Structures are given as C-alpha cells and as structure tokens.
C-alpha cells in the first residue's frame, strides 16, 4: 500500500501538467500500474541498478528539501503563527482530538524507517544498519518538523487544510508564485521515483527472506541471474495492482492510500514492541544477568502508543486492512499444512477462530466497499 500511495503522489504531481490525472479515473489506474510494474522491472535488474538510482534520487531529494525550507524561511511571517493557533475559531474541536486525527498521517511519515534493518542481509557492514536507521530517522523528523511548523508562517490553518496534494506545491505558490509550485512538483517527482525503487526492493525482501527460511512458500525464494527475488517481486507487484484498483474508489485517493498503509503496518509494529517487552522482562531466558529497565519502559510505552494508534485509525480503515491481511492466509496454509498435520506446529482452536473471523470481516469489507457503504 505504501508503494501505491507513492504512485498516487506521482500521479497528483503530474496533474499540474496533465489535469486529467486529477480526476483519479482510468488515467490514474494506467499511470500507477505503469509505475509499479516499471519499478518491478528496475528491481529485477538487481540491487546495483536500484541502489544507484536510489542514491542519485536521495541526493536530489535532500537538495530540493533544503531549497524548499530555505524559501519558506525567507517568506516566513512570525505574526502568522499567532493566528488561531489552537483552532478555536475554526471549531476544530479539542486539541487531543486534533492530535488523534493526524496520527495516521504522522505514522505514514515514518513508515519504512526500519528499511535498513529489513535489507540488512545485503549490507556490506552490519554496523552500518543501526547508523542508517538512526540517521534516517533524525533527518526525516527534522525535515518534517521544519516544513510543518514553518508552513504556519506562510498561510493560516484554514487555508493550509484546503491545499491540494502535493500541499507543499500550493504552499510555495503562495510564497513565491507559480514557479514555487513547479519547483515542488519536480522535486516530488524525483523524490518519490527514488522512494518507489527502494520500497519495491523493501516490499519484496520480506517474502523473499520468509521463503528462504520456510515461513513462506519456497517459490518466493527464487532469484534470477541478477540475484533479484523474481517471484517475490512479481507477486508483490500483483498485489499492488489490486490495491490501485481499490484506492481509486475513494474520494481522497492519496489520503485513503496512506491511511490504509499505516493501519496495515500497525500490528507489525505492535508485535515488535510486545516482543521486545517480553524478552526484556524474561532476560534470564536469554542468558543475561541483569534486566535493562530502559528497554522495558521504552517497549511498554511504544506498545501502548501502537494500541492508541489502532483505535485512532477508525473502523473504516481497520475493515479495509482485513482484506489485505486475509490474502496472507492461503500462503500460510500452503506453507505450514504438513507441519500442522504432523503436530510440529501448534495451531490451536483460538488460532482457527481468529482466522475465520478475519476471513468473514474481509468478506464483509469487500461487500461494503463495492456497494459504496464503506468510505474511507
């Protein structure tokens, strides 16, 4: 879903030059499909080609962001920051509700921050993995904070809320004129194109590694002459294609895509936090002499935060997420059928009930989606 959201962002950026794309109709489906399968073709050429494109786009992306922040700083009006800063005049509701309503977008900003860990198997030096994750997080949070806060020195909240995607383009247009919109759209195209290349590799890496260790069907571990995970890439891109057809049904296509992507990743983050909490508490089982209370506190807070985010997401997006999660059941069954039958893998009645409930919720969601009763 993250790749689909990026493809939609490219679609909306190109809408400046081809307005028909902003209708989010068949033109959007064709463009997004071409982008996703094009990224698939690049990834199949191996990590060498993908890494080179990603490095170039990252350099150009950071340069563009620095220029944009510089322009916003130049046009910044400190008096604008005091204009209804708490949203009282526009009746935005309590501050807590305002914060909760932004959580999915905030989470989306940092989805994939663990990418260096996922691709750590391809790293030359394992020590670079932790550094890349920390540096990536710090750069991202600095850039997002600057752009988000400084925007309130250009336009009031009521006008910022009405900006079309990419919103930074409309912001710079207000600051320096039409050239600002053109600059941002070019930067977005370069940035998102590079991100799509990286994320295509990231998405395929998970089923590929799972296939290697037997957690996914073995065919996911197949590679081509360039050592690219060919089956994992093709199957992942096929699922992205289905997601494109799903998100264009919504009124705000980009917002729907990023919200669904955020909701889908939340259970993974929650389970990671709970596992860290478990091993931090049961430290003796790992052969450790003392317990690291810092990890206990950190993982506990993170787990509670994930639970809050799941509730903040809303029922609509949670239902949509069940459709995508249910598609993993056949792969799980196919892979572990023999182990379950032989009793080598515990598959309790509660597991079966969870599986059944997930399938039923997915079927209900599909029905509500195609009858127009489920709107995100």
Q: Is the pLDDT of residue 256 over 90?
A: no
Selection from 98-112, 121-135, 151-165, 291-305 with the highest mean pLDDT = 291-305
Q: Does 142 map to a domain?
A: yes
Model pLDDT for residues 124-169, shown as the tens digit of each residue: 676 777 777 788 788 888 888 888 888 888 888 778 877 777 777 8
SS3 (DSSP) at 290: coil
**In whole angstroms, how far apart are CA 158 and each of 50, 67, 177, 309, 368?**
41, 25, 20, 25, 33
Residue 334 contacts residue 298 (beta carbons within 8 Å) = no
Under the banding of pLDDT at 50, 70 and 90, the label for residue 359 is very high
Range of the domain at 175: 2-250
Tokens 């890439």 correspond to what residue?
A: 233
Distance CA 107, CA 104 (A): 5
Tokens 């996922």 correspond to what residue?
A: 118
Report residue 318 CA to chain centroid gap.
15
Q: Is 48 exposed, middle or buried (0-12, 13-18, 19+ CB in 10 A)?
A: exposed
106-113 average pLDDT score:
75
Tokens 């207000």 correspond to what residue?
A: 174
Q: Does 344 map to a domain?
A: no
Q: Does 299 map to a domain?
A: no
- Supply the pLDDT for residue 117: 62
Q: Is the pLDDT of residue 333 over 60?
A: yes
- Supply the pLDDT for residue 274: 92
The residues near 192 (Cβ < 8 Å, ≥ 6 apart) are 6, 9, 10, 13
Q: In which element (H, E) is residue 103 found?
A: helix 103-110
Q: Is the pLDDT of residue 34 over 90?
A: yes
The first and second tokens of residue 96, run together, are: 């807590």
Q: Is the pLDDT of residue 211 over 70?
A: yes
**In whole angstroms, how far apart are CA 25 and each of 10, 251, 369?**
15, 11, 17
212-229 average pLDDT score:
84
Share of the chain above pLDDT 70, in %: 88
Mean pLDDT value across the chain: 81
Of the two residues 335 and 301, the one the predictor is more confident about is 301
Q: Is the pLDDT of residue 373 over 60?
A: yes
Q: Does 258 map to a domain?
A: no
Under the banding of pLDDT at 50, 70 and 90, the label for residue 115 is low
Of the two residues 253 and 71, the one the predictor is more confident about is 71
Within a 10 A sphere around the Cβ of 216, how many other Cβ atoms?
24
Dihedral angle of Cα 160, 166, 172, 177, to the nearest 10 degrees? -110
Q: Does 32 map to a domain?
A: yes
Model pLDDT for residues 56-70, shown as the tens digit of each residue: 777 777 787 888 888
203-223 average pLDDT score:
84
Q: Does 342 map to a domain?
A: no
- Supply the pLDDT for residue 85: 66
Q: Does 274 map to a domain?
A: no
Within a 10 A sphere around the Cβ of 167, how many other Cβ atoms?
15
Distance CA 314, CA 117 (A): 29
CA-nearest of 18, 65, 95, 21 to 254 is 21
91-95 average pLDDT score:
73
- Supply the pLDDT for residue 36: 92
Under the banding of pLDDT at 50, 70 and 90, the label for residue 50 is low
CATH of the domain at 118: 1.20.1740.10
Distance CA 30, CA 27 (A): 5
Of the two residues 251 and 186, the one the predictor is more confident about is 186
pTM above 0.75, yes or no: no
Model pLDDT for residues 3-17, shown as the tens digit of each residue: 888 888 888 888 878
- Supply the pLDDT for residue 331: 81
Q: How many domains does the chain have?
A: 1
Q: Report DSSP state, residue 27.
A: H
Q: Does 269 map to a domain?
A: no
């Amino acid at each position: 879903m993250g790749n689909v959201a990026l493809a939609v962002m490219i679609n909306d950026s190109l809408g400046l030059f081809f307005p028909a794309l902003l209708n989010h109709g068949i033109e959007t489906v064709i463009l997004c499909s071409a982008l996703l399968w094009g990224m698939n073709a690049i990834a199949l050429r191996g990590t060498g080609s993908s890494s080179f494109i990603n490095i170039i786009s990252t350099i150009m992306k950071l340069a563009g962001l620095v220029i944009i922040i510089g322009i916003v700083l130049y046009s910044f009006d400190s008096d604008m920051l005091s204009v209804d800063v708490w949203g009282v005049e526009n009746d935005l509701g309590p501050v807590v509700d305002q914060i909760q309503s932004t959580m999915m977008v905030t989470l989306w900003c940092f989805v994939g921050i663990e990418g260096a860990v996922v691709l750590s198997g391809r790293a030359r030096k394992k020590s670079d993995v932790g550094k890349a994750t920390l540096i990536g997080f710090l750069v991202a949070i600095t850039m997002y904070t600057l752009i988000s806060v400084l925007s309130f020195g250009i336009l009031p909240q009521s006008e910022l809320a009405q900006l079309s995607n990419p919103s930074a383009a409309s912001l710079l247009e207000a600051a320096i004129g039409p050239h600002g919109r053109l600059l941002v759209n070019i930067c977005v195209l370069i940035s998102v194109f590079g991100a799509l290349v990286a994320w295509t590799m990231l998405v395929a890496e998970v089923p590929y590694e799972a296939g290697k260790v037997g957690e996914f069907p073995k065919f996911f571990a197949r590679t081509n002459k360039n050592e690219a995970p060919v089956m994992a890439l093709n199957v992942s891109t096929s699922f992205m294609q289905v997601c494109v057809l799903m998100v264009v049904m919504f009124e705000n296509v980009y917002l729907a895509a990023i919200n669904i992507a955020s909701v889908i990743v939340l259970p993974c983050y929650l389970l990671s936090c709970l596992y860290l909490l478990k091993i931090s508490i049961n430290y003796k089982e790992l052969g450790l002499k003392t317990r690291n209370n810092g990890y206990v506190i950190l993982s506990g807070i993170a787990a509670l935060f994930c639970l809050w985010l799941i509730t903040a997401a809303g029922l609509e997006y949670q239902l949509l997420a069940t459709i995508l999660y249910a598609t993993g059941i056949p792969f799980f069954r196919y892979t572990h059928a023999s182990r379950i039958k032989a009793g080598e893998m515990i598959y309790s009645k509660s597991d079966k009930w969870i599986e059944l409930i997930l399938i039923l919720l997915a079927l209900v969601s599909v029905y509500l989606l195609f009858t127009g009763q489920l709107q995100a």
